[in-house]
Amino acid sequence: MDFLGQVEEFTKGCRDVTASLKLGSSGGVVYPNGPLTLNDTATSQLCSFAGCTVKFFEVLKEEGLCEVINKVLKETQFLLRLREQTVRGVLSTSYKPIDNIIVCRELLPHLKLSKVFGKVTDPVWEMLTDEFSIMRIEGVQRCEMNVTFTPSLVITNSEVGKAALNLRLAVRTHEFRIISDPIVRKVHIGPYAGVLVEEDLVKAFEGLVKSLPQVDLSREIQFRPIDFKLLHYPSDVMRVIFGMTKSELVEMRVASFPLRSLVQSTVSTELPTYWKYILARDFFDLLLRFNYYVHDGWVIRWPHHVR
């Protein structure tokens, strides 16, 4: 299925309603057209509005006491994002989500990318879910300041309020991939998007090209057992980065790792797309601001991106 066909298929059965949210005793949503089910994201968002934890909500479900949440919500109106009979998002009525299909139809056609990327490939979805999506538009391989790399534009979004629509610059070499912070503060949808983005994209690209030759993968990073607590990765991701689980790492008195081996996790085939994206963002900071995170060879802090 082609790029646009994927997102059209993704939007089937999706609709929005503005309504109060009334729960039944077992945690389902009472709705005139039949009961609705909360997915994990919607449950978490509901709990935020209700002022309780997801764990407490699960206890209420087990005890058949979820109706008490209705007393807290007090007929508050919400924007409910639905897929068939599943609530995929519970948002404030003032929130204005941007759907992925709108990005494809009203943003992509107006982007001007030739100054940075030259000829570009067709967009591809690296990830397409309600909670988070990652789109990539890749340029041609080039060599700047003796560094050979392939640049790309990465567009991230969430249809249920878990992340804003952002445009980021990505670079891939034969050893690693890194993804920048957002290159524009606010993404505009429409015919002026290309003009607004182009200048920021060129500046970001020029800055990144100047920084790439400073990356020294021959460096080593030393960790003490307590340092691994700085890292926010699950055990399976830790194993791909370090070759060991977190529990195995903390048993070592001192652990030293070549930076070259650590960054290879950003292009690993063993990791899900989401975690490769997170690592690419974390290592962007680590590689380009190495002395901020590592002092005299010892790690003193670690980047922490969640979207």
In a domain, 119, yes or no: yes
**Domain final residue, candidates 92, 112, 140:** 92
What per-residue confidence (pLDDT) applies to 307?
74
Q: Which residues does 139 contact at the CB level (< 8 Å), separation at least 6?
A: 113, 116, 117, 118, 119, 120, 121, 150, 151, 152
Look at residue 127 and give its three-state secondary structure: strand
Same structural domain for residues 134 and 188?
Answer: yes
Residue that is written with structure tokens 């519970």 in the block: 90
Distance, CA of 201 to chain centre: 20
**Domain final residue, candidates 214, 231, 249:** 214
Q: What are phi and psi of 136, to 5 degrees?
A: -130, 135
d(CA 273, CA 236): 14
DSSP one-letter code for 162: S
pLDDT along the chain (307 residues), means of 10: 94 96 94 92 97 96 95 94 97 95 92 88 96 96 90 96 94 96 83 80 91 92 90 93 87 90 96 97 96 96 89
Instruction: Centre a 10 Å sphere on the Cβ of residue 73 and count the other Cβ atoms it contains.
Output: 16
Burial class of residue 162 in the structure, from the number of CB atoms within 10 Å of its CB (0-12 exposed, 13-18 middle, 19+ buried): middle
Q: What are phi and psi of 119, to 5 degrees?
A: -75, 135
Domain enclosing residue 268, as ranges: 220-299
In a domain, 307, yes or no: no
What per-residue confidence (pLDDT) applies to 252?
85
What per-residue confidence (pLDDT) applies to 157?
96
The encoded tokens of residue 34 equal 């039949």
Angle at 244 (CA atoms; ends 238, 248), nearest 5 degrees: 105
- Report CA-CA distances (Å) from 305 to 158, 217, 274, 284: 16, 22, 11, 11
- Please provide the size of the chain in residues: 307
d(CA 125, CA 129): 10
- Report CA-CA distances (Å) from 216 to 108, 146, 170, 245: 35, 13, 18, 26
Same structural domain for residues 18 and 65?
Answer: yes
d(CA 204, CA 99): 26
Distance, CA of 268 to chain centre: 17
* Contact predicate 13/83, CB 8 Å: yes
Look at residue 252 and give its three-state secondary structure: coil
In a domain, 234, yes or no: yes
Q: Which residues does 20 contact at the CB level (< 8 Å), separation at least 6?
A: 73, 75, 76, 77, 78
Same structural domain for residues 133 and 205?
Answer: yes
Same structural domain for residues 175 and 251?
Answer: no
Same structural domain for residues 10 and 79?
Answer: yes
Q: Which residues does 295 contact at the CB level (< 8 Å), separation at least 6?
A: none
In a domain, 62, yes or no: yes
The encoded tokens of residue 227 equal 């340092």
**Domain final residue, candidates 214, 239, 274:** 214
Q: Which residues does 9 contact at the CB level (< 8 Å), separation at least 6?
A: 1
What per-residue confidence (pLDDT) applies to 260?
96
Look at residue 176 and give its three-state secondary structure: coil
Q: How many domains does the chain have?
A: 3
Would you state the torsion angle of the CA atoms of residues 197, 211, 134, 81, taken in this order, to the nearest 10 degrees? -60
In a domain, 306, yes or no: no
* Contact predicate 254/222, CB 8 Å: yes
d(CA 143, CA 48): 48
